[in-house]
Amino acid sequence: MIQYNRRRFLQGAAGAAALTMLPRIARADVNSQIRVATIGLNGRGQNHIDGFAQNLVALCDCDRSVLGQRAAQFERRQGRKLDQVVDYRELLDRNDVDVISIATPNHTHALIAIAAAEAGKHVYCEKPVSQCLWEGRQIVNAARRYDRLIQCGTQSRSSRCNQQAVEYVRSGKLGKIKCVVGTCFKPRPSIGKLDQPLVISPEIDYDLWCGPAAKVDLYRRHLHYDWHWDFNTGCGDIGNQGVHQLDIARWFLGEPQLPPRVVSVGGRLGYADAGNTPNSQTVLLDYAAAPLIFETRGLPKSKAAQQQWERSMDSFEGSQIGVIVQCEDGHVYSPSSYETVVAFNPAGEQIERWRGGGDHFKNFLDAVASGRREDLNAEVLEGHLSSALCHMANVSHRLGEKRTAAEIQTAAAFSPPFAESVDRLLAHLRANEIDVDAATVTLGPLLEFDPASERFANNESANHLARREDRKPFVVPQIA
């Protein structure tokens, strides 16, 4: 990783500061002067290209095939050419780049974000901002130390309907929050398992792709996207789709820190493949004011429903991918469209509806133009905390042991909302003909956590999993 001296950083910082000090120019014109390079061009990277289209000066991807395809698509649509860069480090010293946008796999988010901030760039980083809990705090520290704006790609924070619904609930109009339940019921069939290692295309710089993660042979069919289901590079669906819903849930709760306890129940069930993250999971993030529960289901409603997997997913109180905020005097439902939120009274009758989304990319550019961290809708501290919820849950899972349904139900009984969630999960697995009465489902330990130090209490195994041992030279630095 390239190191940056103080003179070089000050040059980059001065350039970015000069960019934000243009009070006589209309905001749209200021935004058009902010020059963006996007790193990682699959999946969400395509949204970054669209969202920053007028500001892009360079595209970067360690897969030369993808890089060339995206550059050609952009030239056809926008009528101009962009620089093509394979190694992200080549962008960090460029004076014509003010912003780095990151849509790479999870395991390189922190490395690139911190290097970009150190080089004087502002950063838009996809969720989760980190691959492990410790990394997220280092990104926050980097944003403060280098005085850079870093936005997390949790775009629901720019959704007007969510903003209004959060204000409504936190004002007490539905009484006290009793429990918040997030759901990610998203079809996730097997990714398969190869007998021989996957052959990596010569178009891909695999060493650069791995970055801080262990450089190992892969036995899945696809390098791209299916990295989500490998703890070496991803966080499972709780850290993929689920981080959005966890972020919304914590937002409704108004919690500015991590919870003091966490426990996970679940596993990768229903098939054997090259993945190792849970496809079925329920998690308790035990905040003192109200519990936050998150449910992941990748299997359909039943074994028979696997014939129409995509259209046969479970729901909880009408939610497949969404958040249910259960209050004393009703509940609020925030679905994954981020375009509408609905409030209901105890009889299930609609009493309020909020409409309207938002432009998360524009919010970021506006904040860079103003130079005000408080203008960001999803400042990196919020992104770190919501990402860390996923990591805490996965630490409990990874330390767990397989137990019978009866043993799991007994362990969950201390929290009635969590016990109900566990019962729902077990019933779902039975419908998929999984023998939960045998020791099949993983019960993680109930872990105590210190929100102030962001360390697990008296559990060094958990703290070991909260920080990855990076592969040199791609080491995420500790930032004081």
Residue written as tokens 């007998």? 195
- The strand pairing partners of 332, in sequence order, are 325, 343
- pLDDT, residue 310, reads 86
- Around Cβ 80, how many Cβ atoms within 10 Å? 10
As a whole number of angstroms, the distance between CA 137 and CA 244 comes to 19
- pLDDT, residue 29, reads 55
CB 58 within 8 A of CB 85: yes
What's 160-190+235-357+380-457's CATH class? alpha beta
- pLDDT, residue 14, reads 39
As a whole number of angstroms, the distance between CA 42 and CA 61 comes to 9
Q: Which overall architecture, per CATH, does domain 6-157 show?
A: 3-Layer(aba) Sandwich (3.40)
DSSP state of 131: S
As a whole number of angstroms, the distance between CA 80 and CA 96 comes to 16
DSSP state of 316: B
Please name which of 424, 162, 436, 238 lies closest in space to residue 315, comparing C-alpha atoms. 424
In the numeric block, which tokens belong to residue 144? 């403060």
Residue-level pLDDT, tens digit, the chain, 480 residues = 334 333 333 333 334 444 333 332 333 455 779 999 999 999 999 999 999 999 999 999 999 999 999 999 999 999 999 999 999 999 999 999 999 999 999 999 999 999 999 999 999 999 999 999 999 999 999 999 999 999 999 999 999 999 999 999 999 999 999 999 999 999 999 999 999 999 999 999 999 999 999 999 999 999 999 999 999 999 999 999 999 999 999 999 999 999 999 999 999 999 999 999 999 999 999 999 999 999 999 999 999 999 899 899 999 999 999 999 999 999 999 999 999 999 999 999 999 999 999 999 999 999 999 999 999 999 999 999 999 999 999 999 999 999 999 999 999 999 999 999 999 999 999 999 999 999 999 999 999 999 999 999 989 999 999 999 999 999 999 999
As a whole number of angstroms, the distance between CA 118 and CA 457 comes to 32
CATH 3.40.50.720 domain span(s) along the chain: 6-157
**Sheet of 56-60: strands edge to edge?**
83-85, 56-60, 36-39, 99-102, 122-125, 150-152
In the numeric block, which tokens belong to residue 311? 């259209």
CATH 3.30.360.10 domain span(s) along the chain: 160-190+235-357+380-457
Task: Characterize 261-291 residue by residue with b for buried, 16 or more Cβ atoms within 10 angstroms of its Cβ, and e for exposed.
Answer: bbbbbbbbbbbebbbebbbbbbbbbbbeebb
pTM of the model: 0.93
Instruction: Compute φ and ψ for 10, nearest 5 degrees.
Output: -65, -35
- pLDDT, residue 276, reads 98
Amino acid at 331: H
